[in-house]
Amino acid sequence: MFRNVAQLPLDYSLFKGKNSIFSWTPSGSIIFGNGAVAQTGEQVKRLGGKKVVVCTDEGLVKFGVAKKVTDSLEAAGVEYDLFDKCEANPSVETVEAVVKLAKNADMLIGLGGGSSIDPAKAAAILITNGGNIRDYEGCDMFQNPPLPVIAIPTASGTGAETTPFAVITDVQKHWKMAIGGSYNIAALAICDPELTASLPPMFTAATGMDALTHAIEGYVSRSLDPISEPILEQSIKLIAGALRRATFKGEHDKDARYDMMLGSTLAGMGFTNTILGIAHSMAHPLGALFDVPHGVGNAICLPVVMQFNLPANPERMANIAELFGKDTSKMDLMEAAQAGVDCVFDLLEDLPIPPLSKYGVKESDIDKLAEEAMKGGDRWTNPRETTVEDFKNLYLQCLELKK
């Protein structure tokens, strides 16, 4: 027996303080813990699923991660098809291919990072609403609830398992579209930290910095609300304490993997309600134009953007230093705020994140990147207003970060 629950439109009005009226959109249900993936088949049945499509990538099939899901489905007697062609920046064409395979399905499973969960969520919209996924760019642009989606993250990064967005690349326009709506939150997230144990260091670092960017940009957002605030603080604290350990000894440090996945999931819950900032505005064109992995783009842009934003929100930058474990009791506000920014610069320096030059980004590309960044919807909740000249300067600083 299921009961109706309110599905409110996404609310990104600014300054959601203690004396204002605001809405807060929670995630779907979450099952969290080591070994949780074994429950997949039974959870599909509990939700009424009989025929599902599992959206994933070839690597997760090759290394046996997908088999953990399909074995659970088989044990529960659930019929399934496997789509394993999801790419790093999922495209319109990938979404269409999933829709074609899932016409007779009653549920979708996204297994992977956002690269697999996002096309599952986008396909779920098209199956019940028709049209082309380009028709639904923006917030609350579709009318019918999508097909139910179960999200199973295999990296601690995107938070796609708890967010109401799917980010899809329009290859023809070199543009990343955000398709959002409260109905677009996965019906269930199954978060199993053990699925991340074998991730290589660079991938662990990049996805972890993606999660940290979500947490920090949500925390300093002009749309921060009193419910998201403590959630994002806990996320920053967890990631700050675990990311180096997960990167360099992640196969042996189960606690670090656990904390990273929990931090990523909490970040997704928080930024669902706050939106992000201009690090994301900058990272999206890097992905669309140069195929820079989203986590790498965010990792490089985050500390540069924090430095830019510091004068507009020094109080929260100072809090970030405390969440990283710095003692700021003998610092004045601006010194503490700078310490918060420096914590992230230091973290980036320690991690195996490649420079933008590895992806062919050059100084001559900055004008085009800045023009595309100006189109980003995350500009409106960033602590500091930005111009195209600001973006040019920020991209230049990012290019100058050397390893």
Whether residue 15 is predicted with pLDDT greater than 80 in this model: the reply is no
In a domain, 12, yes or no: no
Residues 389 and 264 in one domain: yes
Distance from C-alpha of 152 to C-alpha of 66, rounded to nearest angstrom: 10
Whether residue 273 is predicted with pLDDT greater than 60 in this model: the reply is yes
**Pairing of the two strands 175-180 and 138-139:** parallel
Residues 346 and 223 in one domain: yes
Residues 163 and 237 in one domain: no
In a domain, 13, yes or no: no
Residues 175 and 224 in one domain: no
37-48 residue pLDDT tens = 999 999 999 999
Distance from C-alpha of 372 to C-alpha of 250, rounded to nearest angstrom: 36
Query: Taking the model in full, what pTM does it have?
Result: 0.92
- Tell me the pLDDT band of 402, cut-offs 50, 70 and 90: low
User: ∠ at Cα 302 (298, 303), nearest 5°?
Assistant: 145
Residues 328 and 340 in one domain: yes
Residues 132 and 267 in one domain: no
CB of 194 closer than 8 Å to CB of 35: yes
Task: Count up the domains in the chain and report the number.
Answer: 2
Residues 154 and 204 in one domain: no
Lowest mean pLDDT among 2-6, 69-73, 327-331, 379-383: 2-6
In a domain, 394, yes or no: yes
Q: Which CATH number goes with the domain that contains 56? A: 3.40.50.1970
pLDDT (0 to 100) of residue 1: 42
- Tell me the pLDDT band of 258, cut-offs 50, 70 and 90: very high
pLDDT (0 to 100) of residue 6: 65
In a domain, 359, yes or no: yes
* Domain end residue (candidates: 136, 161, 195): 195
* Domain end residue (candidates: 147, 177, 195): 195
Helices (H) and strands (E) in the chain, counts: 14, 9
Residues 371 and 348 in one domain: yes
* Domain carrying residue 343: 198-400
Percent of the chain with pLDDT over 70: 98
Mean local confidence (pLDDT), 12-26: 78
CB of 293 closer than 8 Å to CB of 206: yes
The label of the residue with tokens 């949780």 reads 36
Mean local confidence (pLDDT), 73-82: 95
pLDDT (0 to 100) of residue 403: 53
297-309 residue pLDDT tens = 999 999 999 999 9
193-238 residue pLDDT tens = 999 998 899 999 999 999 999 999 999 999 999 999 999 999 999 9
Residues 140 and 162 in one domain: yes
Looking at per-residue pLDDT, the higher value among 269 and 158 belongs to: 269
CB of 61 closer than 8 Å to CB of 264: no
Residues 82 and 165 in one domain: yes
**Pairing of the two strands 175-180 and 165-170:** antiparallel
